[in-house]
Structure 1
Amino acid sequence: MLKLIKCEFLKLKRKKFIPLIILAAFLFPIPLTYLMTTPSMIERYTDRADAFDGLFNMVLGYGIQFLLPCIIGVIAAILFFMERDNDTFKNLRTIPVTSTQMVLAKIIVLFIFGIVFCEASTIATILCGIGTLEVYGIGYKLFLAVETGIFITAGTLPLIVLVVFFSKTYVFSILLCVFYSVLNMSATALFDTLPKTMLWLLPTPLTTFWSAGDMAAHGIKMDLEQMTGLIPSTFQVVFILGIMAFVSFLLIDRLYKQRGE
């Protein structure tokens, strides 16, 4: 399995996609840091430590939870379209590796990139905030980034099912990813009007509510009055996203087998 995962990484390395992931992690922290240090924004917080929490929350909400599904979708398109584009499905039948093992290796790579992107975004936020804000709680924020990366990636697997099912061009896959992110972000913004069941079945609102409750539990000031009854426990998030990821894996595996026949 480790060799399969290494092979999938080499595919992305040839596409020179890995450095772009790191650069994308700075896409939101830099402008959001500038926005946070403006007088109209900084006066909303009690001190610079509180402002750093606000910056981290904004990066988590806009940078990670909006951008990460798009990145995961693009990486998935590269990994799952590679055999189709190079017409190597027939060659795969000659090696002692099942299609299920290959799909599992690809999905593990997606989770690794999800974690790496979230960690890189958090580190970028810390670097941007060092000069102007009071940076603290680094250990907790890095750990929360790992959890967020896992949860968002798991919740993005239903999107990967659609990417593999349609198996169209990369442009179509990117548009599908953007639509998925916008749909999730719109649902998050409409949390006070949409039913709880719908919000919990969408990964971004579910993870947003959970992370807000988790940060509040760790002493970060959060306005949760309007979210009463919407914040799930860690067990509920793991259970919902676990089922979502498992079913998606089975569907992706079935579709991938059909592509190879």
Structure 2
Amino acid sequence: MLRLYWNEMKKLRRQKTVRIVALIGILLPAFCTILCMNNHYRFRNLVGMNVEFGSFLIAPFIFSVLLLTMFSLEEQNDTWKNILTIGISQNTLFLAKMMVALTFVVLFAGINTVYTMVGGIVLRNYIPDFGKVFVILMITALAAVAGTMPVVWVIILLRKKYLIAMITVNSFTIANFLLIWQLSMFRCLDLHLPILIAYRIIYPISILEYTNNLQTGLDTLYYPVKNGILILASTVIISIILGMEIGKRQEG
């Protein structure tokens, strides 16, 4: 499994798509940081902005685009069946690709943290705790990816039509982010979609510094954590199993 993981990582690093995704992953946190610095926001505002834009827009984008790229590479090079004939199971290959995509999400959380800390140096109420900020940004990014996990079976279903798949995947990511945007304004509270549940259960975690005016948001967005984790875990498991089954049927 580990060897397969490194092979997938090597194949992906040679792709132009990775460079574009990496550039976006570097530029957006920089933009948020500069915006907060120019407007003299507090450090907690910068963290909140990087959670909303970084974790719930860029992290799912990175995950889904890279995963699609890896599956599309096999189709373009006609190597999928060849790999399976040398004794590697389709499920193992599937999981290896997902692990690679998740690795880039974690790396992005690290980059996001660095920019956040750099911006924090010149902002008010700076909290020099790299570990705490990294944990916040990583947990929120992984929760967002879990909430976006249904994109996996969409990727598998459309992987042979790269352009259509890319448009669909990005549209899905943007639609999810727009729902998050509405939720942050206390709308869409009656929708129990995985991505919205992810945002609601991590919202208390994303608050770096509690103030009284945040209590309304905490009360309004409250969602039972255990129920939320169960729904997200079920979403991940079902999406992976469904993706694997769709892949097997396509190859069968």
User: What TM-score bracket applies, with the shorter chain setting the length?
Assistant: 0.7 to 0.9
Give the distance between the partners of 1:215 and 1:64, measured in 2 at CA: 11
Map 1:193-204; keep pairs closer than 5 Å: 193-196=187-190, 198=191, 200-203=192-195
Per-residue deviation, 1:3: 1.0
Give the distance between the partners of 1:120 and 1:232, measured in 2 at CA: 29
* Change beyond 3 A, Cα 1:106–1:228: same
Can you list the C-alpha shifts for 1:188-219, whole angstroms capped at 9, x where unaligned?
233334243x2x4231x323222321244x64
Per-residue deviation, 1:234: 4.0
| Residue in 2 that maps onto 1:250 | 241
Give the distance between the partners of 2:157 and 2:114, measured in 1 at CA: 35
Can you list the C-alpha shifts for 1:61-117, whole angstroms capped at 9, x where unaligned?
013311222221211111111221111233123212111111111122222222221
| Residue in 1 that maps onto 2:93 | 102
Cα RMSD (Å)? 2.4
Per-residue deviation, 1:168: 4.6
Determine if contact 1:122/1:145 at 8 Å carries over to the other structure: yes
Give the distance between the partners of 2:173 and 2:84, measured in 1 at CA: 36
Q: Name which of 207, 216, 220 aligns with 2:198.
A: 207
Q: Secondary structure at the match of 1:25?
A: helix
| Residue in 1 that maps onto 2:156 | 164
Give the distance between the partners of 1:112 and 1:31, measured in 2 at CA: 23
* Change beyond 3 A, Cα 1:85–1:19: closer
* Change beyond 3 A, Cα 1:190–1:128: closer
Determine if contact 1:69/1:181 at 8 Å carries over to the other structure: yes
The amino acid of 1:259's aligned partner reads: Q
Determine if contact 1:25/1:124 at 8 Å carries over to the other structure: no
Give the distance between the partners of 1:6 and 1:227, measured in 2 at CA: 42
Per-residue deviation, 1:257: 1.5
| Residue in 1 that maps onto 2:118 | 127
Q: Name which of 130, 147, 167 aligns with 1:155.
A: 147
Q: Name which of 235, 241, 261 aligns with 2:232.
A: 241
* Change beyond 3 A, Cα 1:11–1:220: farther
Equivalent residues, number = 248
Structure 2 length-normalised TM: 0.86
Between 1:160-169 and 1:93-102, the stretch displaced more is 160-169
Per-residue deviation, 1:246: 0.3
Q: Secondary structure at the match of 1:106?
A: helix
Structure 2, unpaired ranges of 5+: none
Give the distance between the partners of 1:224 and 1:172, measured in 2 at CA: 43
Q: Secondary structure at the match of 1:231?
A: coil
Per-residue deviation, 1:253: 0.6
Structure 1 length-normalised TM: 0.83
Q: Secondary structure at the match of 1:157?
A: coil
Give the distance between the partners of 2:181 and 2:24, measured in 1 at CA: 24
1:188 aligns with 2:150: no
Between 1:118-127 and 1:232-241, the stretch displaced more is 232-241
Map 1:1-261; keep pairs closer than 5 Å: 1-38=1-38, 41-42=39-40, 51-133=42-124, 134-191=126-183, 192-196=186-190, 198=191, 200-203=192-195, 205-216=196-207, 219-221=209-211, 223-261=214-252
Between 1:182-191 and 1:14-23, the stretch displaced more is 14-23
Give the distance between the partners of 1:108 and 1:30, measured in 2 at CA: 26
Q: Secondary structure at the match of 1:58?
A: helix
| Residue in 2 that maps onto 1:48 | none
Deviating 4+ runs (over 6 angstroms): none
